[in-house]
Each structure stands twice: as C-alpha cells, then as structure tokens.
Structure 1
C-alpha cells in the first residue's frame, strides 16, 4: 500500500467527518444566505451579498451556538465518565473501576513505556496537565464557542431591535435575555438527550463491527467491551 493510501486508511474517520463538516457548513452558509435575502426583501431592504453574510453576526451566532453545545457534550461526557457508570454500556467503565484509576493502569510515571508521550514520563505539572489535556481542550473550545455565540448573538439581537425601533440590549441585559438562553438551551437539551440515549441503548442494542457497540453476542450486563 502506498504512503498516501496508508494515510487515508489510518485517518479515514477524521477525514470523512471533516469533509462532512465542511459540506454541511457550506450548505448552511448557502441556505442561510438565501433566507437572509428573502427576509431582507420582505422587509424592504437591499439583498446582502454572500461575502457580507458570511462575516455577519447572524451567520456567526448560528455556527457558534451549535459548536458550543457539541463541545459541552464532549467535555462533560469525558469528565463524567471518570466517576459515573452505566452498567452494560460500552460507553462506560466497569463499576469496579470508578475514579481516576491507578498509575499502573494509566501507564503513568514509573509505569510509562518507552514509546509513551514525553510528558507522561516527565512527572510533575507536565504529567498532571497532559493527564487532563483532552477534557481541558474540549472545555476551552466550548467556552470560546459559547463566548462567540454570546457576542455575535447580542449583535444580531440588537440589529433586530433597531429594525423594530426598540432599544438595543446591553451586555448584561443580553446575558440574561430569553434570546440568549433559548439559543443555548435548545442545543444543550438535544446533546444531553443524545448522550443518555447512547449510554442506555448500547446496553441492549448492537452494531456489528463498531467499537461503539459490544460484540453482537455479548450479554447485556457486560460493560466496557467493544466489538
């Protein structure tokens, strides 16, 4: 197999979903632009160009509100599964393994292997930071996305307020506004439902060949086993 072929095979999951993401984002941009033109024409305004729409707060808030909810889902799930379990789900650890686990099981410090990441063998703050790097990165992306939603959402909200000859909202007013929390909570509830559904449905249902599922013949009570 050629080097390019090996790269595509070894990174297929990331590449395919990356392309799906780009395709969906382009589709959102085009359909959102069409809707923006329709709304402006109906209200007696000039149509907006695609370039201007892509740099508008209207587009930014729609993108950011979806991103923040997805990364909130992952950051919460990563941390919650340290301490919480769902017996029989491949998404969960065994009940006997609740907690941060031993250095030996985590291959940390004296138990690090020759090809372990350098910071695992370094000890001190570097090992501590690396040990939490996935959750912290997901949390950071969530906070950045949520902040972007807040900033862009206020701008879009105030634009609508001015069109309706209403007073614009201050930063504090928008933070506690129904618009901000409606945008936020309508995404959060779907992410929480998805996690709960995946955790419990994977106890009783199977998908042959997927690591997100137990082996087809595995008993329902078996936990932390993928097929």
Structure 2
C-alpha cells in the first residue's frame, strides 16, 4: 500500500484536492444561493436540492470544460508550435509528428512498449492520438453538460422574471452561454502562455515542469 501511494502520489494528491474543493464549492454555492433567495423573499433550498440543481451543474461543468480544453489544445498545439527555452516545448528540430524511431512504434518498439504501439495499422494510429482524442472528447462532453445545465438555469431565471424561456438554438447564441464559456477560456489561454514563457527564465528546483536551475535560458525541452 505504501508503494502504491508513493507511485500514484501526484494523481491521488490532486484527486483529494479536487474532492475537497468540490465539496467546499457545494457548501459555499448552497449558502450563496440561499442568501440570494432569502433576499428575494424566497424559501431556502436544502443541500440535496442544490446539488441536483442546474445552478450547481452549470457552475461545475463550465470549469471542467475549460480545463479539458486547455489540455486538449496544449497537447495538440505543442506538436507544431514551440517556445525556445521552455521545458514545456519540443526542440525546434523536432516540430511535427516525429519519426517512428523517435516515437518507438512499429519495428522500433521495445519489449515494454504498449501492445498497440507495435500492432501497426489502425490500432497504432488510434493509440498514437488517444490522449488528444480523449481530452477533446471530455471537453465536448463537459461543454455539452454546461450547455444543458446553463440553459436550464437561465430559463429558470427567465421564468422567475416572467420572461419567455429560450430554445436550444437561441441559448446556443445567447450572451449567457458564451459569457460562461469565454470567461473561462481566456484564463486558461493566459495560464498556458504564462507557463510557456516564464519557464524559459524562471526555475523551480526539483520540478519536472522546470529546467535545471543551472540550465541556460536557451535550452529547450530539458526538465529538472
């Protein structure tokens, strides 16, 4: 068990932080909703009702979709785009999909290589882009969840104000939907750009996201 915890510490650590933050958001969001309801002379709702509400669902899903979008774009963009001097970037000479030898596929696989890396054909092609496809698929699923929950929450506000609810097509082009999406997207794009350029000149000893402390600013890809 101790070895399992050590070998999976990064996933387990951030998984624990995720659950803690999600639980905290649930209680904070519940309190915030009830404060707003009471100020409008409405009855408070229970925690269970809040957790199954469109308000909670849209708040969660709009953050999830932006995070998966960040990783999807970062995984795909770093195939072709570089930042000289950043450990987050490939070397300029390695731009593109790289050779089979570099990627250890086909006849270049090793004894411990995944089976689909040596299988060839559609299986190797699919496995070769499985990370990008998965991240992109998770983004689309979360964005769809945001759309469904966001429309329900928005229409709830419309009805409470005695206004007509919006159809799916109307909500898709509404300011509410795109405001929820873009306010998260811009922060993710800023974070990626900041990490790419700051890691050229700044260091964090012992982190694989940083170059070695003594590495030259122009060194690209090397991590410490």
TM-score, length-scaled by structure 1: 0.98
Could you say which residue in structure 2 is the equivalent of 1:52? 49
Report runs of 4+ in structure 1 exceeding 2 Å deviation: none
Could you say which residue in structure 2 is the equivalent of 1:167? 164
The structural deviation recorded for 1:31 is 0.3
Could you say which residue in structure 1 is the equivalent of 2:190? 193
Q: Secondary structure at the match of 2:179?
A: helix
Aligned: 1:112 with 2:120: no
Structure 1: how far apart are the matches of 2:3 and 2:116? 28
Could you say which residue in structure 1 is the equivalent of 2:66? 69
The alignment of Structure 1 onto Structure 2 pairs a total of residues equal to 224
Structure 1: how far apart are the matches of 2:26 and 2:137? 25
- The answer for unaligned runs of 5 or more in structure 1 is none
Q: CA RMSD of the aligned region, Å?
A: 0.5
- The answer for unaligned runs of 5 or more in structure 2 is none
The structural deviation recorded for 1:127 is 0.4
The structural deviation recorded for 1:134 is 0.4
Structure 1: how far apart are the matches of 2:126 and 2:46? 45
Aligned: 1:21 with 2:18: yes
Could you say which residue in structure 2 is the equivalent of 1:220? 217
The one of 84, 89, 98 equivalent to 1:87 is: 84
Q: Secondary structure at the match of 2:153?
A: helix
TM-score, length-scaled by structure 2: 0.99
Could you say which residue in structure 1 is the equivalent of 2:178? 181
The structural deviation recorded for 1:27 is 0.3
Could you say which residue in structure 2 is the equivalent of 1:6? 3
Structure 2: how far apart are the matches of 1:211 and 1:104? 24
Structure 1: how far apart are the matches of 2:182 and 2:12? 30
The structural deviation recorded for 1:224 is 0.6
Structure 2: how far apart are the matches of 1:222 and 1:16? 30
Structure 2: how far apart are the matches of 1:160 and 1:39? 12
